[in-house]
Amino acid sequence: MMKRGVLCEEEKEAKKQKLLDQIGDGHLPYLSPKDDTFYDLWRTCYSKLTLLQAKHINADLHHTVQNAFLSLLDNGCLFQDLVRLKGKDILTPVSRILIGRPGYTYKYLNTRLFAVPWINDELNTQYCTRNLLDTYKAFSDLNKFLYSQTVNELQKLRKAHKNDCFQHFDYKEQVKSDKRPCTLNNENKELHSLEPFNVTLINYMDPRDMPCLKEEPYFGMGKMAVSWHHDENLVEQSTVAVYNFSYQESAHDINGDDKDPATWNVGLKIAWDIETPGLCIPLNTGDCYLMLDDLNKTHQHCVIAGCQPRFSSTHRVAESSRDTFQYIKSQCNSALQNLHMDPDTGAAALKSLEPRVLGQTEEIHNEVEFEWLRQFWFQGKRYNKCTTFWKEAMTELENHWKQMETMTSLVLKAIENENLTVDEKCNILKNILPCLVERQNLRQEWRERITFLTSAMPVEPAARSDCDCDETLLQPSAHKKPITLRCRSKLAKKLPPDQAPCCYPYWNDDNKSMPLSFDLHSITFALQNRLETLEA
């Protein structure tokens, strides 16, 4: 049998289609606390999901964290993301902000979120307004608390493992369903990550602002604020810990009368499994839940909206090898080592024409431009409201990037140089051309996307829930709600001007401060011809 996580796209599509056929128009069973076997199912098939009830958490921590959520809202620091899923732009119904270690970022659905620093020392005071300092610090305190709970729970989990296996078997016998193990990764008990959480992604949604939420398609659990997904870009087997805060009474019920209308729920299911019932866990205000160890990999989760406005703080160990400001800065510095600036004349020259070195510089040039600068400016000027950290960081990266534009222009001049042999010219071209073609393609792609969004706004997909799930297509068509004009106009107008995506950097050909044009089409075309001629 194929290992989880290594299915290719076509195989996933085929599996989805098969599941879709099996489900037909009906719903699969799921259990909630009303059901007798709810706790049995939880213990056996969802044992790595732990709930920490609000009453077991220190009141001061609740107070600090809940005020911090409200402060984020008051200060306008929560933003709907224009994510990209299967080539479509989608405006998330949930508003978010990433808070975490200074310089950390987290990529989800092709969107890089830039963490507002949560530390509360001298460094931070430079970057945040005073009243927001305490707000961010609250999430650092919460982070420490949730991490200590996670360590405890992982220890308990390890001890309980043997018993769980037996109980699981009994339960399965009893319900006469699937004989395969529910706990999908019984080996690797020691492999879970004990790395502390490095970021938290804060979520906020007021259901009254979102009349067009998608129905949960498989089980009929209710309206989804966040649809089925695995959290992506996390350190393998790392826990995700979530603090839940819903506030303010409301009489408006969007989920019918089948369950407590006020309550938000987290839904869980085993990925690719329609035999095991889903689990729907009501969350009271101040409750936390932990998705321990590899639960995020073996299972998917979704969030079912209640009727109150609700915040959550989702603490995670983001994969960070290529995702910190420190990393990209050191990449830039290594590329710029090949640039010599004459201290007297200010003239720029390349130190080495070694093809491998030139190719690496062009790769880093693309990385800083598309993974950092364009990702940042796509999110408009939103970060200015929360911190000056990223504005300063981006100014620094932009300066480096501009120097790399100069470096590219110097390579192009060098290729014209009579002193190089044909072989040398060919080798240089082979090393840099793929990067330049990629740069041209990506620039066009970003430009077109932003032009479309800023002129027409993302109307069609706006009513959908965000979803990094591999099962977007699994939604039976009967459940696809028509997207009303009301939703369209409401959501399109919702993005304030300071959050509108910017195509930046962008410049016209008459901008003399730029050594090369924005549009590289004629350059790459000429270089391709040149390479062919040289090789002939």
Q: In the complex, which residues of this chain contact Fe ion (CB under 5 A)?
A: 231
Q: What residues from 469 to 498 belong to the interface with ligand AKG (CB under 6 A)?
A: none
Spell out, one character per residue from 180 to 219, where the chain touches ligand AKG: x when CB under 6 A holds, - when not. Answer: ---------------------x-x----------------
466 binds, among Fe ion, ligand AKG, none (CB under 5 to 8 A by kind): none
Residues in 292-321 at the binding interface with ligand AKG, rule: CB under 6 A: 301, 303, 312, 314
Q: How many helices (H) and strands (E) does the chain have?
A: 13, 17
By the rule CB under 6 A, 231 interacts with ligand AKG: yes
Alpha helices in 46-129 (DSSP H): 59-74, 122-127
Q: How far is the CB of 223 from ligand AKG (least distance, A)?
A: 14
Distances (CA, A) of 377 to 122, 433, 450, 530: 27, 26, 10, 35
Pick from 99, 242, 358, 394: which binds ligand AKG (CB under 6 A)?
A: 242
Measured CA angle at 398 (ends 521, 379), to 5 deg: 85
* CB of residue 233 to Fe ion, shortest distance in Å: 11
Task: State the residue number with the nearest CB to Fe ion.
Answer: 231
**Considering only residues 133, 213, 266, 527, which one is a binding residue for ligand AKG as defined by CB under 6 A?**
266
Q: Residue written as tokens 């965000």?
A: 466
303 binds, among ligand AKG, Fe ion, none (CB under 5 to 8 A by kind): ligand AKG
Cα(240)–Cα(146) distance, integer angstroms: 9
Q: Which residue, 134, 98, 141, 92, is CA-closest to 116?
A: 98
Instruction: Say whether residue 137 binds ligand AKG (CB under 6 A).
Output: no
Q: In what order do the strands lie in the sheet with 264-270?
A: 30-31, 278-283, 264-270, 299-304, 224-229
* Minimum gap (Å) between residue 109 Cβ and ligand AKG: 10
Q: How far is the CB of 375 from Fe ion (least distance, A)?
A: 20
Could you tell me the two tokens for 492?
Answer: 């399109």
Contact 101, 199 (CB under 8 A): yes
Nearer to Fe ion, 465 or 524 (CB): 465
Nearer to ligand AKG, 105 or 314 (CB): 314
What secondary structure does DSSP assign to 197-260, as a single string?
A: P-EEEEEEE-GGG-TTPPBPTTT---BEEEEEEPPPSB-TT--EEEEEEE-S-----SS-SSS-
Q: How far is the CB of 124 from Fe ion (least distance, A)?
A: 27
Helix, strand, coil percentages in the chain from 3-state DSSP, rounded to 5: 45, 20, 35
Does 268 engage in binding with ligand AKG (CB under 6 A)? no
Using the minimum distance from each CB to ligand AKG, give the nearer residue, 99 or 226: 226
Binding residues vs ligand AKG (CB under 6 A): 201, 203, 226, 231, 242, 266, 301, 303, 312, 314
